[in-house]
Amino acid sequence: MPTIVIVLAALVVLGLLLVTSTVKIVQEYERGVIFRLGRLVGARGPGLFLLIPGAERMRKVDLRIVTLEVPAQEAITRDNVTVKVNAVVYFRVVDPEEAVVKVIDYVRATSLIGQTTLRSILGQSDLDHLLSERDKINAELQQVIDTQTSAWGVKVTSVEVRDLELPQTMQRAMARQAEAEREKRAKVIHAEGEFTASQQLANAAAVIGSQPATLQLRYLQTLTEIAAEKNSTIVFPVPLDLLQGFLKLPAPAPADVNGRFGATALGNAGISFQPVGWEPEVGRCAANLVKARRFLKPIRRSSPKRPSASVHCASRHTPERSVRGRKRNHRLSPRS
């Protein structure tokens, strides 16, 4: 009895082993590559199928996309800048038979191809190209890696450069370059704004120049705005139009042939004399000069020496100047 039990148990175990080696189940995302007596039969699946025990064996291949991280690679760009770059490769098996027959480990082989290709592409590119045209670098990497792995039945779907490490000196240099570029743009924008503002100011000046009263209103508005800030000192520009009456003073009238000076000479010259502002004082000075010359005629004829005379004009002379004139000259009284 014990012998029969042992034999039955051995048969059960042998049957289980035979079933497990004969019946195979492959998932939807997998394929089974069958070898019969060492020769490739083909890929089967998905589902349930049977193998010949002892004559056939199967190797499963996953058809899903594999995410492979490429370790950081240190390389020198074409413009002699040392960079360290790591990337991510996405690939999948499209031909299970080739992936099993042509290469021992297609995952490791794809990883090594990705590393060497990444170094090669980095050495052929400039730093600015790596920073600004990342999409072109990714496309070029994907194309080169896929060309080499297609013989293994592996399709590289995409390659992404994940991180780019630069030396600290290069980072500081790039920061200064970016700052200079920003300052350049700011100056250009400021110059464009000044140009536009100058055009508008020219148009406004043309409008204000057509109406003189507009400028006076603008002065008053400016004064109101300054006074609203409670300033102790207010600098207010005075227009030159208000000073024209003070600046345009008449030139001294020339004497005529007989030595007469004043209104007669101005009348002979065809110049009309109209006192404006300071001009009344000048007119009185001219009248006093004419009277003095009339009194000096007899003295100049009889006396060999010509005395000097000073005539006090009712103008705005300083007291010091009048005293010096009286000390230097003597006043002559008229003779009957």
Q: Block means of pLDDT (10 residues each) for the chain, length 336 residues?
A: 77 79 87 90 87 86 92 87 91 92 91 91 86 89 92 92 86 88 92 91 81 74 72 63 58 46 44 46 59 56 47 44 46 43
What confidence tens digit (pLDDT) does each residue in 62-74 have?
A: 999 999 998 888 8
Q: How far apart are CA 45 and CA 28, in angstroms?
A: 8
Alpha helices in 212-315 (DSSP H): 212-227, 244-247, 263-268, 279-302
What confidence tens digit (pLDDT) does each residue in 229-287 have?
A: 666 666 666 666 666 655 655 554 444 444 444 444 444 444 444 444 444 555 565 66
pLDDT at 289: 62
* CA distances from residue 263 to 12, 254, 270, 281 in whole angstroms, order as listed: 154, 10, 10, 14
* CA distances from residue 193 to 6, 108, 179, 190, 207 in whole angstroms, order as listed: 102, 60, 21, 5, 21
Q: How far apart are CA 60 and CA 279, in angstroms?
A: 120
pLDDT at 235: 64
- Crossing angle for the helix pair 106-123 and 134-149, to the nearest 10 degrees: 140
pLDDT at 255: 46
pLDDT at 16: 79
pLDDT at 334: 45
Q: How far apart are CA 135 and CA 160, in angstroms?
A: 8
